[in-house]
Amino acid sequence: MRAVTLPIMSLADRIASGSGEFLLFALTPPRAASAGDRAQEIADATLARLGPLDVDGLILYDLADEAARNPAQRPFPFMPTLDPAAFLADNLTNWAAPVIVYRAVGKYSPAQLRAWFEEQDPSRVMTVLVGAASRGSRSQTSLTQAQALSREANPALLVGGVAIPERHSRRDDEHLRLLAKQDAGNRFFVTQVVYDINAAKNLVSDYHYACAERGTGVAPIVFTFSVCGSMRTLEFLRWLGVDVPRWIENDLRHATDPLDASYRLALATATDLITYCRDLGVPFGINVESVSIRRVEIEMAVRLAEQLSAELRV
């Protein structure tokens, strides 16, 4: 009998159907001062670096000053970046695969968000809506308002939310937040960088069984991984709210090559989560990013994505 070749599902189709096993690579747009030719140079270099990778899509972050969330001194100074939507439209025109564009909704007026939602092609662009960093932050638009605007302006646009395993460790209610976000229209979730495997597993488990109890479908969870080539990068991850277990810090601090050690750690953690989600039947994706702008760390992040692609395609 002749074999039938099934069409490859796009990233949007996988998320819409609640399927998983996709690979993403996340980028932070260039600094706002890098507009024009310099921004295009950065975009071209990035696309050349990602060209050989078998990724299903990109994530473009939308940075906001989070000083109100964490009063401690930032290890790296905050530098405003280009609007990810503008960077996509103006500089990533040669990227053909889908893109998930973050929107830090407090930075934009309702009219600005509505206009952006209306312009998007749901087969190519998805979004993650992020609320204010703290209750004291000034916001032009609340997360609830932004979620309602997306449903009104472009109902077909796939909207995702942020999942924070560390918050689940402290409060034991992050799975309930995910359910509430699903009720508001979220179709997938993206975590911050995962270092604490137990926190991630606890969230996945509680969310899975809560969905089963409610008779609700489980939305894909995208786990983010990164490499860490220096103690300063590790301090920055902690400043961002990432929980780094002490044994990991000890190993990295005393490693002959911290970058290689963090690569092997991230690979082992991601592989563990892949196996766990498969066994539990939870749809998932993998996202790789480089927290640092150092070339050596970016290249190691690309190496991590390449290896995780092989893990997903088996």
- How confident is the model at residue 65, as a pLDDT? 61
Residue 48: other Cβ atoms inside 10 A: 9
- How confident is the model at residue 6, as a pLDDT? 36
Chain-centroid distance, C-alpha 178: 15
- How confident is the model at residue 108, as a pLDDT? 94
Are 70 and 236 contacting, i.e. CB atoms less than 8 angstroms apart?
no
Q: Which domains, and CATH codes, for the chain?
A: 11-312 (3.20.20.220)
- How confident is the model at residue 77, as a pLDDT? 64
DSSP 8-state symbol, 76: S
Residue 195: other Cβ atoms inside 10 A: 25
Average pLDDT by stretches of 10, the chain with 314 residues: 48 94 94 82 91 92 68 65 93 94 95 97 96 72 94 97 86 90 95 94 96 96 93 85 89 93 96 97 95 87 95 83
CA distances from 30 to 1, 40, 186, 234 (A): 53, 9, 28, 22
Q: Kindly calculate the radius of gyration of the chain based on its CA atoms and give it in whole angstroms.
A: 19
Q: Which of 136, 118, 140 is nearest to 127 (CA)?
A: 118
d(CA 155, CA 145): 15
pTM higher than 0.85 for the full model? yes
Residue 180: other Cβ atoms inside 10 A: 12
